[in-house]
Structure 1
Amino acid sequence: MDEYLTTEEVAAWLKVAPSTVCRWRLAGRGPRVTWLSESLPRYRREHVAQWLEAVAA
């Protein structure tokens, strides 16, 4: 089963503020997001790791 992370969990993992993750999401530059509802963005751990590898390259 996939593990879904909150914005706060992703921010803690990447050591940035949650607002930074939100800005990335709004700009279309952050990890792929899955919306569980209009106000519940979630990130698959696998997608965050893939995104991190891509931007770190």
Structure 2
Amino acid sequence: MDEYLTTGEVARWLRVAPSTVCRWRLAGKGPRVTWLSPSLPRYKKADLIAWLNGATS
């Protein structure tokens, strides 16, 4: 089963403010987001790791 992270959890992983993760999401940058409802964004841990691997290459 996939592990989903909140915006705050992603921000802690990346050591940035949650607002930075929100800005990335609105700009279509950053890790892929999955919307569980119209106001509930979540990030698959696997997608975050894949994004990090691509972002550091």
Aligned structure 1 segments of 4 or more residues deviating by more than 4 angstroms: none
TM-score (norm 1): 0.97
Which structure 2 segments of 5+ residues have no match?
Answer: none
* Greater share of residues in strand: 2
Which structure 1 segments of 5+ residues have no match?
Answer: none
Paired residue secondary structure (2:37)? coil
Paired residue secondary structure (1:29)? coil
> How many residue pairs were aligned?
57
TM-score (norm 2): 0.97
**Counterpart in 2 of 1:11?**
11
RMSD of aligned C-alpha atoms? 0.4
